[in-house]
Amino acid sequence: MRVLERLLPGYNCGECGRRSCRDFAEHLSSAEDISRCPFMSQERFRGRLEEIRRILERGASHERIVGVMDGLEAEFSLGPLDGDMSCTEDLHPLDHCSLQAGDLIRYRPLGCPITHFAEVLEFDRGVARVRIVGPLSAKGRNCRDLGICMVLAFEGRVVRGRVPEVGRTVRFLPEHCMMQKVHSGVVVHSEGSRVRIEAIDLKVW
C-alpha cells in the first residue's frame, strides 16, 4: 500500500528481510510486523509508527460500512479533521453570489433531497469551502439561501476502513451525511489518514 510505504523511512536497507520499503509495506499485515524495521523504533519516526499502527488496526477490522439509504457498501467512512465538527466540502453555487468567511449558508446539493446548513471557511473564484453545521446554528443568525450547489470535493480523515491510494475511484460514507448515503469520487490527495476526494457523485456504479 502506497500510504504505508510513504510512512516508512525509505532507506530500502533490507534489514526487515524484504528487498525494499515498498515490498515491506505490501506485506505488512499487523502492528507487530512493523518491529522488523530497525529504524521505526527511533524517536524521529514515532509519529509515523503510530499512524502505521492505526492504519493496520483499521485494516484488521472487517466491519462493513453500509449506507442506510441505499444499502451500498463503502470502502471507508470520512470523518472530520482533528478539532473540527465535520468533513469540509468545496461547493459551487449554481447562482452567482459572493460569500465571506463566517457566512452561514443554506443550500441543497445537486442530486440530494436534503437541505444542508454550513459555515463558509473561505470563498475564492466562485468556490466556497465549508463545514457542515446543524440547522439549529441558523437560529438567531442571518442565513443566506444559495439554492442548489454542486459539491466538488470532500476533505476529511478516514475513521473506519482502509486509507485509499491517490488516483483511485472510491465509495465512501461522509459521517455527517444525514441520509447516510454512500458517495463516490476520486482520491486526489492522501497524507496519513487525511484524504481529499474530488469529482463527487451521488450515483455509485
Structural domain spans, the chain: 2-60, 65-201
Sort 161 into a burial class: Cβ within 10 Å, 0-12 / 13-18 / 19+. buried
Query: Which pLDDT band, with edges at 50, 70 and 90, does 138 fall under?
Result: confident
Average pLDDT, the chain: 88
- Is the predicted pLDDT of residue 120 greater than 90, yes or no? yes
Q: What is the pLDDT of residues 1-54, one digit of tens each?
A: 567 888 999 999 989 888 888 888 877 766 667 888 999 999 999 999 988 888
Cell numbers at 48, concatenated: 509515523
- The whole-number pLDDT of residue 162 equals 83
Query: Which pLDDT band, with edges at 50, 70 and 90, does 204 fall under?
Result: confident
125-133: average pLDDT: 95
Q: How far apart are CA 164 and CA 169, in angstroms?
A: 9
Cβ-contact 65, 158 below 8 angstroms:
no
Q: Is 191 helix (H, G, I), strand (E, B) or coil?
A: strand
Q: How far apart are CA 184 and CA 171, in angstroms?
A: 4
Secondary-structure class of domain 2-60 per CATH: mainly alpha
119-143: average pLDDT: 91
Quick one: what percent of the chain has pLDDT higher than 70? 94
Q: Is 106 helix (H, G, I), strand (E, B) or coil?
A: strand
Query: Which pLDDT band, with edges at 50, 70 and 90, does 92 fall under?
Result: very high
- The whole-number pLDDT of residue 60 equals 54
Among 59-63, 135-139, 187-191, which stretch is predicted with the lowest mean pLDDT? 59-63
Quick one: what percent of the chain has pLDDT higher than 90? 54
Question: Which own/partner pairs from 117-126 qualify as long-range (CB within 8 Å, at least 24 positions apart)?
Answer: 117/143, 118/89, 118/91, 121/88, 123/98, 123/99, 126/92, 126/93, 126/96
Query: Which pLDDT band, with edges at 50, 70 and 90, does 202 fall under?
Result: confident
- The whole-number pLDDT of residue 29 equals 65
Q: What is the pLDDT of residues 54-87, one digit of tens each?
A: 887 766 545 678 888 788 899 899 999 887 889 9
Q: What is the 3-state secondary structure (H, E, C) of 141-172?
A: CCEEEEEEEEEEEEEEEEEEECCCCCCCEEEE
Residue owning grid cell 514515532: 46
The CA dihedral of 169, 180, 189, 110, to the nearest 10 degrees, is 80
- pTM for the full predicted model: 0.69
Cβ-contact 42, 26 below 8 angstroms:
no
> Which residue from 188, 193, 171 is spatially nearest to 6, judged by alpha carbons?
193
Cell numbers at 190, concatenated: 492522501
- Is the predicted pLDDT of residue 142 greater than 80, yes or no? yes
Query: Which pLDDT band, with edges at 50, 70 and 90, does 182 fall under?
Result: very high
The CA dihedral of 136, 140, 142, 145, to the nearest 10 degrees, is 40
**Dihedral pair phi/psi, residue 203, rounded to 5°:** -85, 120
